[in-house]
Amino acid sequence: MNINIVRYKFDELKELLDDTINLLVVAETKLDSTLNDNLFKVEGHKLLRRDQDGRGGGIMTLINSLTSHLVEELTRNLIFWKIYA
């Protein structure tokens, strides 16, 4: 999902999350290190951020806590394939 500045749309984003969504990746978050993770935490989900300090960019990933171990395993496998492919 390309959100274009997540800080102004985070409440709407939280409404999309439920137990059926295991992984939500949000692009163009336009966050930087001045904004604390606690502002974007969602109960029952693990938050991962890769901010692009400066102009634009950034990715936020929300992973359902019940399945986070599966997503992390998939991520490790994808990184492996990216390195060795």
Q: What type of residue is 43?
A: E
**pLDDT for the residue numbered 77:** 67
Indicate whether 85 pLDDT > 70. Answer: no
pLDDT at 42: 92
Residue 55 has pLDDT above 80, yes or no: no
What number is the average pLDDT over the span 50-54? 80
- Is pLDDT above 50 for 51? yes
At 54 the pLDDT is 67
Please state the rounded mean pLDDT for residues 37-52.
90
> Which phi and psi (to 5°) does residue 9 adopt?
-125, 15
- The pTM of the full predicted model, rounded to 2 decimals, is 0.74
Distances (CA, A) of 14 to 32, 46, 62, 75: 20, 13, 10, 23
Secondary structure of residue 55 in the 3-state scheme: coil
